[in-house]
Amino acid sequence: MSALFEPYNLREVTIPNRVWMPPMCQYSAAPEGPLAGAPNDWHFAHYGARATGGTGLIIVEATAVSPEGRISPYDLGIWNDTQVEAFRRITRFLVAQGVVPAIQLAHGGRKSSTERPWKGGEPVGPEAHGWQPLGPSPVAFADGHPVPDELTVDQIREIVGQFVAAARRALDAGFEIAEIHGAHGYLINSFLSPHSNHRTDAYGGSYENRTRFALEVVDAVREVWPDDKPLFFRISATDWLEEGGWTPDDTVRFAGDLHARGIDLLDVSTGGNASGVRIPTGPGYQVPFAARVKAETPMPVAAVGMITDAEQAEKIVANGEADAVLLGRELLRNPSWARHAARELGDEVRVPDQYLRSV
């Protein structure tokens, strides 16, 4: 058996292989009305295709813990029971295909209330289902973006409670793993980084203060998430700034804090919190950040970033750089990537009976 197709155990959950699907927003939910934020036929077909293609773990896209926590008005949410019932259709199908269903719980913060990417991705106001964004400080993400309202301490506590309620609903919806979104410039990430967090109270300034909100969310969610089920955290390992931002050293330190609080795996990405930065992309360009966390802490990690072929993915896992790989755009291009990779590596992956004629 190749390393890529070895099962992976976390707490009492067994993931059948190390080929995982990361959260990727589809911007396809209703923006308003009784079905706002609820997954629909598009989401069912989208996730179902990757499940039948042999992916071991599917993390459903950034799912907002409140209406104002959506990145766009068309994002998924999990703030009401109608959404929970709609998610159950997806989780039932994923489980039936032998896939572990996971969900990313998120709040968009100062990057909220934007148009869908194929419509330009610019901020939108009430005339286009938008709202006023919130953030740690009144610092806009980029030129042309609104200055967010600075969260009060009471509002911060309210959002912690929203993450808790969302975690309870995620469990009710049939998800086996929850991931807290602390990356890409969204609310939790913007608290972590001094680039976006200019507060002078207990939630800003020192490393301990800037990580306070994130750790409060982790502690509160871990308390209600069952002991037998894993909890992930997604992080941007660097802002890609020469100074004044979140750094890889911060990430290593924070990974230790998260591990001590019951986070079972760090999903390591980069960037998204500072506009206009130059990111040196290339095959596997973010893998070294995950590899460093794995080498210097007890935290298991998953790696992302232009991982596209079977041999490349196999080496990442076999060499101990990461415990799993998350394939984003490659799984959009090829929902059956895992099945093809298994064949290339001389291994096996589950194929639905209906597709056996294709093997």
Nearest to 4 by CA among 334, 353, 286, 327: 327
Residue 314: the pLDDT is 98
Instruction: Using only the alpha carbons of the chain, give its radius of gyration.
Output: 19
Residue ranges, the chain, pLDDT below 50: none
Residue 159: the pLDDT is 98
CB 357 within 8 A of CB 75: no
207 is catalytic: no
Scored b (16 or more CB within 10 A) or e, 187-208 reads: bbbbbbbbbbbebeeebbeeee
CB 82 within 8 A of CB 45: no
pTM of the entire structure? 0.97
- Of the candidates 186, 207, 285, 355, the residue annotated as catalytic is 186
CA distances (Å), origin 92, targets 52, 101, 172: 13, 9, 12
Mean pLDDT of the chain: 97
Residue 1: the pLDDT is 82
Give the tens place of pLDDT for each residue, 197-208. 999 999 999 999
User: ∠288-290-292 over CA atoms, to 5°?
Assistant: 70
Alpha carbons within 13 A on the beta-carbon side of 42: 13
H/E element holding 351? none
CA gap 31, 27 in Å, rounded: 9
Domain ranges across the chain? 3-358
Structure tokens at 135: 């953030």
Q: What is the CATH T-level fold of the domain 3-358, as seen in this structure?
A: TIM Barrel (3.20.20)
Nearest to 196 by CA among 234, 148, 257: 148
CA distances (Å), origin 61, targets 116, 203, 314: 14, 27, 25
CA gap 225, 223 in Å, rounded: 6
Structure tokens at 337: 């990537």
> Token pair 């130059």 is at which residue?
278
Residue 52: the pLDDT is 97
Residues 6+ apart with CB under 8 A from 51: 58, 93, 94, 97, 99
